[in-house]
Amino acid sequence: MGDFITSERGPGAPGLHVSNVRLSVLFNVLAVAVMPRARTDWELRLARWVVEGDQCRLGLGMVGFDVSELGWSESEDVFATQKRFLLELVDAALNREGWEHLPSIPGAVEERLFPLLRQLREMVEQFPREGLTPPPEYRWPEGPPENGLCELHRVYLHETGCLLCNDASYDEPAPHRSP
Ligand SMILES: [Zn+2]
């Protein structure tokens, strides 16, 4: 089981098949990195999209995505700013930003997370502005996060909880575990 991260319109970019565990860790590291950075409407929607990529919310094997689905602007300037933000976000994850809020990542998972982040970075970098299509409504948020923050993990909450609380084992504190 697992899911795909793709960039079907990117030049020659192969889709990545990613295990559920690695996908979950990917969304976790992006969630802690995006929280302090997101300012504009699109950045905040991206932050919400990240925390909504919780397999406890969408289901296992349901959080794969294509790079084209991220609500890109057709304006050349705005598109360039969006791309720069996303690249900075992936770089922040590569620099372990916000990891003090994360449960420890097993060495074997971490080892495979970094190549995945670098591949994602490459896909974003190569993503072309030409031929943009509207993002899928079921996945791209209509607005910024509106459920507050997890006081323990410092990430935005989605409508039923916190993607990190949902990952925690039952003997750890998890104030926002989804019902
Ligand atoms: Zn939490």
Task: Spell out the domain ranges in the chain.
Answer: 3-167
For the chain, percent of residues with pLDDT exceeding 90: 70
Cα–Cα dist 40/32, whole Å? 17
Confidence of residue 61 (pLDDT cuts 50, 70, 90): confident
Cα–Cα dist 138/135, whole Å? 9
**Ligand 1 centre from 173 Cα, in Å?**
9
48 contacts 145 by C-beta, under 8 angstroms: yes
Contacts of 22 (CB under 8 A, 6+ apart): 2, 109, 112, 113, 116
Which residues, by Cβ under 5 Å, contact ligand 1, an ion?
A: 150, 152-153, 162, 164-165, 176
**Ligand 1 centre from 24 Cα, in Å?**
14
**Ligand 1 centre from 155 Cα, in Å?**
7
- DSSP three-state, residue 135: coil
Confidence of residue 102 (pLDDT cuts 50, 70, 90): very high
In the prediction, which pLDDT does 13 show?
A: 63
pTM higher than 0.85, yes or no? yes
Cα 21 off chain centre by: 14
In the prediction, which pLDDT does 12 show?
A: 67
Cα–Cα dist 14/27, whole Å? 20
**Ligand 1 centre from 170 Cα, in Å?**
13
Token pair for residue 59? Answer: 């289901």
